[in-house]
Amino acid sequence: MEKKYFGTDGIRGTIGEYPMTPDFVLKLGWAAGKVLTGQGHPLVLIGKDPRISGYMLESALQAGLAAAGVNVRLLGPMPTPAVAYLTRTFRASAGIVISASHNPYDDNGVKFFGADGMKLSDALEARIEAYLERDLVTVRSKQLGRAVRIDDAAGRYIEFCKRALPNSVSLNGLRVVVDCANGATYHIAPNVFSELGAEVIAIGNQPNGLNINLECGATAVNQLRQTVLEYRADIGVALDGDGDRLIMVDHKGERVDGDEALAIIAGFRRNDALLKPGVVGTLMSNLGLEKAIQGMDVPFYRAKVGDRHVMAQMLAHDCVLGGEGSGHLIVRDHIPTGDGIVAALQILRVMIEQGRSLHESKQIMSKYPQALINVPVKRQLNLSQSKDIQDAVQQVESQLGERGRVLLRPSGTEPLIRVMVEGDNVTETQTLAEDIAGAVREAA
């Protein structure tokens, strides 16, 4: 069944525009309550990031769930991975996060976790959509759900994050800049690092409902870079609005992305039996990551873009480590979803136990230059059926050989064909990407 509302990570859109309206979200809560819970008074947790529309959507979801006979625990502003963790510890039927992740404040979204703390399957999302087509029927008054606010949710999650480091590892002597993106980690991330012993300089920790991800966080690291250099910090940690994404900055102010972080963690754990089944990246993961992982005598698998697809591949191959260059990193023996704070602590452990800076640690991987061109298209284009496009791709692949690779894929959200070429020479890579993009433009 083709889904109408759910995208790669829940349902997302601009507030006030369908489906991000209070009436739709109320019915979504009712539909989810019907699909994700059993009989009696099952339990669902709701967390959110600090954007202003979260309060409105929280009330709508709460009303819909109550109408379905579901009890609700309100967590308040809480990172996405915290909701995944708390869903399991509360033995809840499901967890819901109100967030648009790295998007600006006037967007918002709703995403779900099952009782196991993992994202929903396509089949469950399709079932929720099917219920959205039905009439909303409220249970009898004595069967209505109740809502209770949980006051110690942040403290519970802080303690969970701290357990991601062995007791033998302390952050004493490290100066860490933490950029919370004016998002859901503002009251959590600085405390985690400081309670583990680090000297913390916090930025992006003053949310006002309108400044989430605004020139800060994992998608805009200039402020973090400047602060790291100004305070001569050992490391900079940038999280996104809902805390499931990590980008870092080393002491020289150089950006360290998700691919490099994945390589660092894998290198540290290369002799760990849990790593032997492999590491999962995506179709967009840098070729340098693939070669670095394979050089550890560990298999490397590529999933479709999106942390749900990464997790599906991790489960298929029994992997504990996977992620994306954008900073979604899953360390599955700690938590079964992307967690920026937990991932950062893994990197800090490597630095401490190996006595290396982040700049030295990232040398485990040599990044290949990537050229990415987005080609607008006015109609759906079957890339495999276009002889001119396939001829252009084959010519480029023949020229690159084992020195690089080519990827063409349609955007999932825009009328674009994404052309990506990797190689070992910046100029050549850009030229070859332009050659393929030209063939796509002609075919479009």
- The model's pLDDT over 248-258, given as tens digits with 9 standing for 90+, comes to 999 999 999 99
Average pLDDT for residues 186-207, to the nearest whole number?
A: 98
SS3 state at 95: strand
CA distance 67 to 430: 56
The CA distances from residue 269 to 154, 170, 277, 279, 281, in Å, are 30, 19, 12, 11, 16
* Domains recognised in the chain with CATH numbers: 11-151 (3.40.120.10), 157-364 (3.40.120.10), 370-443 (3.30.310.50)
37 versus 131: the higher-pLDDT residue is 131
Neighbour count for residue 403 (Cβ, 10 Å) = 14
- What percent of the chain is modeled with pLDDT above 90? 91
Average pLDDT, stretch 424-428? 95
Lowest mean pLDDT among 35-39, 136-140, 165-169, 312-316: 35-39
Average pLDDT over residues 421-441: 95
Instruction: Give pLDDT, residue 263.
Output: 98
The reported pLDDT for the residue numbered 381 is 82
* pLDDT of 169 higher than 70: yes
**Residue whose C-alpha is closest to residue 7's, from 154, 130, 158, 111:** 111
Give the separation between CA 343 and CA 337, rounded to whole angstroms.
11
Residue 40 has pLDDT above 70, yes or no: no
Mean local confidence (pLDDT), 21-31:
98
pLDDT at 39 over 70: no
Q: Give the confidence band of 89 by pLDDT, cuts at 50, 70, 90.
A: very high
Q: Taking 70 as the threshold, does the pLDDT of residue 413 lie above it?
A: no
The predicted structure's pLDDT at residue 206:
98
Nearest-angstrom CA–CA distance, 267 and 417: 34
What is the spatial distance between Cα 345 and Cα 163, in angstroms, rounded to a whole number?
A: 10
| Selection from 409, 410, 401, 399 nearest residue 435 by Cα | 399
Task: Please say if the pLDDT value at position 37 is more than 60.
Answer: yes
Side chain identity at 129, as an amino acid letter? E
Rg value, the chain, Cα:
22
> H or E segment at 201?
strand 199-203
Q: Considering the entire predicted model, what is its pTM?
A: 0.93
Task: Find tokens 């708390």 and name the residue.
Answer: 86
Instruction: Give φ, ψ of 208 to 5 degrees.
Output: -125, 10
Q: How confident is the model at residue 410 (pLDDT cuts 50, 70, 90)?
A: confident
Buried residues in 79-109 as b, exposed as e (16+ CB within 10 A): bbbbbbbbbbebebbbbbbbbbbbbebebbb
pLDDT above 60 (res 366): yes
Residues with Cβ within 8 Å of 95's Cβ and at least 6 positions away in sequence, in order, are: 44, 45, 46, 47, 83, 84, 86, 87, 112, 113, 117
* pLDDT of 3 higher than 90: no
Print burial letters for 242-280: b (CB count within 10 Å at least 16), e (below 16): bbbbbbbbbbebebbbbbbbbbbbbbbbeeeeebbbbbb
pLDDT at 41 over 80: no
Per-residue model confidence as pLDDT tens digits over 228-265: 999 999 999 999 999 999 999 999 999 999 999 999 99
The DSSP bridge partners found for residue 12 are 109
With tokens 């709460």, the residue in question is: 62
Mean pLDDT of 75-85: 98
What's the confidence (pLDDT) of residue 72? Answer: 97
- Predicted confidence (pLDDT) at residue 411 exceeds the cutoff of 80: no
CB 256 within 8 A of CB 248: yes
Mean pLDDT of the 46-51 span: 98
Query: Could you give the CA distance from residue 405 to residue 407 in angstroms, rounded to a whole number?
Result: 7
What is the C-alpha to C-alpha distance for residues 107 and 261, in angstroms, rounded to an integer? Answer: 29
Cα–Cα distance, 268 to 346 (Å, whole number): 9
1, pLDDT greater than 60: no
The stretch 124-149 carries a mean pLDDT of: 96
**Catalytic site residues?**
101
C-beta separation of 239 from 338 below 8 A: no
Looking at residue 209, what is its pLDDT? 98
Q: How far is CA 73 from the centre of its chain?
A: 24
Rounded mean pLDDT of the chain? Answer: 95
